[in-house]
Amino acid sequence: MSAKKNSVSLILIISPLAALLWILFHAYLISSFAFDWKISIADSLLMNGLIAIAVLVMYNTLRFYQPSKKNILYLFQWSLLLTAAISAAFRIIIRLNFIDDAVYMQFVEQSMVMRFVFTFLLISCLNLFIWLWYNFKSQQETEARKTETEKLSREAELNNLRQQLQPHFLFNSLNSISALAGSQPEQARKMIQQLSDFLRGTLKKDEQQFSTLADECDHLSLYLEIEKVRFGHRLKTEMICDEKCKMMKLPSLLLQPIVENAIKFGLYDSIGEVLIRINSYCENNYLFIEVQNPFDAATSTAQKGTGFGLSSVQRRLYLLFSRNDLLITKTIADEKSNINIFSTTIKIPQL
């Protein structure tokens, strides 16, 4: 912004100086034909004053109407009409003021053709410059509006994705609380408190575009505690967070749908204990977070890489970073233990 202001200030300073130098040069040319400085300056001021008025008229005209590129010839037609008007006005005013100076009047008549050609070329160039400037300004405003529209649309979509709280998680939690209320009231109260803390943290994070890995891990721990109450001993978790990465940034609430996807495909198709591993590390100015869960290849759809919530995570990463390679899914077959592992890895550029 300061550079733009400096450029405008520089133009405002240079333009009057250039105009003054041109008026003096014009007067010098007239005086070189043996006319005194009074006539020379009057000739220069009148001619250039009429040209300035014509350019001002075109400046205000083009401000409200700009011919398209196909109709660019209109500029030269207007320049021709303005030149004719300037020439007529110059001749009339000169006759009214210098009719007694026969030598100067003869010079004016002999130089009218040259004056007409020069004025036409000058006005045409100035009009073309003004048209280009307005056209460039219009394109800038159009691009700015387009960029702002895209930004608002992107922010709206991001806000929608970020604020999505999986309805089934909330409903399942409430159902679990209802089931525990009669048989295990202490567990029910604990789960209500955990759910309250989780929702409060979610609402707080809705106001943030990014948060640190440490904050995300703390919030994720609340979610996992709730899920552990639901699934009991069946759900085991292992969260490893590299100390060097704790202050790195990632989109708020990005990990929950990934871990929720892992729990769904890990526990829903199994009746035994399931271990969900969450590992984070940093490398080459990227934050990597890997979530792994076992799955049954015969009944689960996780191997297709279209697990629940992953498409929204990938869409959100694309909107934030304009890249489609930040979410990677793969399956790992462990022949020794006969366990299939579904791995989801996200990498977050550190801008």
- Looking at the predicted structure, is the pLDDT value of residue 343 above 50? yes
CA–CA distance, 116 with 84 (Å, rounded to integer): 7
Taking residues 283-292, report their average pLDDT.
92
pLDDT for 302: 44
- Model pLDDT for residues 14-52, shown as the tens digit of each residue: 667 777 888 888 888 888 887 888 888 888 898 888 988
Give pTM, 2 decimals. Answer: 0.57
**Domains assigned to the chain:** 2-160 (no CATH), 209-349 (3.30.565.10)
- What are phi and psi for residue 31, nearest 5 degrees? -65, -25
- 317's CB contacts (< 8 A; 6+ apart) are 251, 254, 323, 326, 327, 346
- Model pLDDT for residues 237-287, shown as the tens digit of each residue: 999 888 889 899 998 888 888 888 888 888 876 777 888 999 999 988 899
